[in-house]
Amino acid sequence: MNEAKELRFAVEPAGKEVSAVLVRPSKAKWVMVLGHGAGAGMRHPFMQALAGELARVGIATLRYQFPYIEERRGAPDKPAVLMATVAAAVRAAAKAAPDLPLLAGGKSMGGRMSSQAAAEGQLEGVRGLVFFGFPLHPPKQPATKRAEHLASVKVPMLFLQGTRDDLADLKLLKPICEELNTHPCKPSVGQPRATLHVIETADHSFHALKKSGRSDEEALRELAETTAAWAEGLK
**pLDDT digit string, tens, across residues 174-190:** 999 999 998 765 555 67
pLDDT of residue 212: 84
**What is d(CA 216, CA 208) in angstroms, rounded to the nearest whole number?**
7
Domain of 90 in residue numbering reads as 2-232
CATH of the domain at 106: 3.40.50.1820
Is there a contact between 47 and 34 (Cβ–Cβ < 8 Å)? yes
What percentage of the chain exceeds 90 in pLDDT? 89
206-212 mean pLDDT: 89
Cβ contacts of 154 within 8 Å, gap of 6 or more: 118, 185, 186, 187
The DSSP call for residue 141 is -
155-161 mean pLDDT: 97
Backbone phi, psi, residue 228, to 5°: -65, -45
pLDDT of residue 48: 97
pTM surpassing 0.85?
yes
Strand partners, 157: 129, 194
Indicate the number of domains in the chain: 1
Q: pLDDT digit string (tens) for 37-61?
A: 999 999 999 999 999 999 999 999 9
Q: How far is CA 78 from CA 38, 118, 153, in A?
A: 12, 17, 21
